[in-house]
Amino acid sequence: MNSESQDITDEDITENIKDRIEGKNIDFEPDDSEILKLNTVRKTLYKLYSEKLAQFRRIRDKSTGWFIYYWWHEFDLLEEILIEKRKRLERKLRDRLQFEENNYFFVCKNCNDQNIKYNFDEAFELNFRCPNCGGSLEAQDNQKIITFLKEKVVLNQKTKIAIDRKT
Ligand SMILES: [Zn+2]
Residue 7: φ, ψ to 5°: -75, 130
Strand boundaries in 40-143, DSSP class E: 54-60, 67-73, 106-108, 137-139
What CA–CA distance (Å, rounded) separates 24 from 37?
A: 17
Quote the crossing angle between the two packed helices 143-158 and 78-102, to the nearest 10°: 160
Question: What spatial distance separates the first Cα and last Cα of the chain, rounded to whole Å?
Answer: 12
Does the pTM surpass 0.85? The reply is no
Distance (angstroms) between ligand 1 centre and the Cα of 117 equals 10
| Average confidence (pLDDT) over 88-106 | 90
Phi, psi angle pair for 3, to nearest 5°: -85, 180
pLDDT > 70 fraction of the chain, expressed in percent and rounded: 96
Calpha distance 159→161 (Å, rounded):
6
User: 38 versus 1: which is more confidently predicted?
Assistant: 38
The helix/strand count (H/E) of the chain reads as: 5, 4
Q: How far is the CA of 118 from the centre of ligand 1 (A)?
A: 12
Inter-axis angle of helices 10-21 and 38-50, to 10 degrees? Answer: 110
pLDDT-derived band of residue 165, with 50, 70 and 90 as boundaries? low
> Is the pLDDT reported for residue 25 higher than 90?
no
Ligand 1 center to residue 47 CA distance, Å? 44
Measure 31 CA to ligand 1 centroid, in angstroms.
Answer: 49
The predicted structure's pLDDT at residue 100: 86
* pLDDT per residue as tens digits for the range 102-139: 888 899 988 877 678 898 889 999 999 999 999 999 88
Distance 130 CA to ligand 1 centre (A): 5
Res. 167 pLDDT band, cuts 50 70 90 = low
How far does the centroid of ligand 1 lie from the alpha carbon of residue 141, in Å? 17
- Average confidence (pLDDT) over 51-66: 92
Q: Note the pLDDT of residue 117.
A: 87
